[in-house]
Copies of this chain bind each other. A is one copy, B any other.
């Protein structure tokens, strides 16, 4: 089982037709049909019942649909989140201020920063020049 197969499965489950799902996935219909049966074989379960005008989800298919959408959503958000960390949109930002500034801190700017990047922790360190 892999993420591509889950995407394919979700498309078929939502379109209820392998042909339409294939169009949505920008592939042709036979490989999609093949991948669906491969997934069924691997899981040891029929996911769809084949009807003359399309396919219907089985009980097992309905369970997989719920799980698959969760997994795919998690995967996508994980990628975004990790990329954000790399861009410095998450983590700890340590800011040094010098004593001679008299303790003046640009509070409005820091509030704006905290609002735009809610997952960044701000730490202030006071010292000499």
Instruction: Please list the residues of chain A having a beta carbon within 8 angstroms of any beta carbon in chain B.
Output: 1-4, 43-47, 59-60, 63-64, 67-68, 70-71, 74-75, 78-79, 81-83, 85-87, 90-91
Chain B residues, CB < 8 A from A81: 63, 67
Specify which of B59, B74, B85 is in contact with A63 (CB 8 Å cutoff). B85
Number of copies of this kind of chain in the complex = 2
Minimum CB–CB distance from A81 to chain B (whole Å) comes to: 6
Known contacts A1-B79, A45-B82; 15 further A-B pairs (Cβ under 8 A):
A1-B3, A1-B75, A2-B2, A3-B3, A43-B79, A44-B83, A59-B85, A59-B90, A60-B82, A63-B78, A67-B74, A67-B78, A67-B82, A68-B78, A71-B71
